[in-house]
């Protein structure tokens, strides 16, 4: 739905883990749900510190730039560092979310990355990536 080697912001590996149908608009929520439906463990993703497939349906994406660009880029870089990955890495979605789960979510490091985000109260339950 977002082309080959789908672009994904690293911090969206956390957002998608807890997505429960809420979002910035109905279109955004629908798009995110559809994305979760089509992603498989084998889907190739390109990690990008910039707008991605999730952002493509977001009202906060203005001309290809997030209105909170600096803040969310910080989230992305923190996830990359914790996961031992680099910007523009291409890897299977399953491998990416395994790292997010094992290196960020399971050890309880998520609040150090995105604490204070408006959606944070939704991100305390069971991660979608838990085995
Ligand atoms: S445009 Fe910004 S607020 Fe919207 S999904 Fe992307 S990073 Fe999140």
| DSSP codes joined into one string, 18-50 | H--S--SSHHHHHHHHHHHHH--TT-EEEE-SS
Its pTM stands at: 0.96
Count up the domains in the chain and report the number: 1
3-state secondary structure of 7: strand
Distance 122 CA to ligand 1 centre (A): 16
Residue of 12, 49, 60, 77 to mutate, ligand 1, most atoms within 8 A of C-beta: 60
Is 131 among the domain residues? Answer: no
Write the DSSP symbol of residue 10: T
- Could you give the CA distance from residue 9 to residue 85 in angstroms, rounded to a whole number? 12
Query: Which pLDDT score is estimated for 3?
Result: 73
Q: Torsion-angle region of residue 115: left (phi > 0), alpha (psi -120 to 50) or beta?
A: beta
Is 128 among the domain residues? Answer: no
Is 130 among the domain residues? Answer: no
Query: Which pLDDT score is estimated for 70?
Result: 97
pLDDT averaged per 10 residues in sequence order, the chain, 131 residues: 86 98 97 97 97 97 97 98 98 98 98 96 95 79
Is 127 among the domain residues? Answer: no
Pocket of ligand 1 (CB under 6 A): 24, 51, 54-55, 58, 60-61, 66, 68, 72
Domain carrying residue 85: 6-122
Is 67 among the domain residues? Answer: yes
Distance 55 CA to ligand 1 centre (A): 5
Query: Which pLDDT score is estimated for 5?
Result: 76
Is 104 among the domain residues? Answer: yes
Name beta bridge partners: 30. none
Is 102 among the domain residues? Answer: yes
């Amino acid at each position: 739905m977002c082309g080959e080697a789908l672009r994904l912001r690293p911090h969206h590996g956390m957002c998608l883990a807890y997505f429960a149908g809420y979002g910035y608009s109905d279109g955004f929520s629908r798009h995110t749900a559809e994305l979760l439906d089509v992603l498989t463990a084998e889907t190739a993703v390109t990690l990008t510190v910039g707008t991605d497939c999730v952002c493509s349906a977001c009202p906060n994406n203005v001309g290809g730039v997030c209105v909170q660009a600096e803040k969310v880029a910080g989230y992305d870089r923190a996830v990359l560092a914790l996961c031992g990955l680099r910007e523009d890495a291409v890897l299977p979605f399953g491998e990416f979310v395994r790292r997010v789960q094992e290196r960020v979510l399971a050890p309880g490091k998520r609040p150090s990355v995105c604490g204070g985000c408006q959606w944070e109260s939704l991100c305390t339950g069971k991660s979608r990536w838990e085995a």
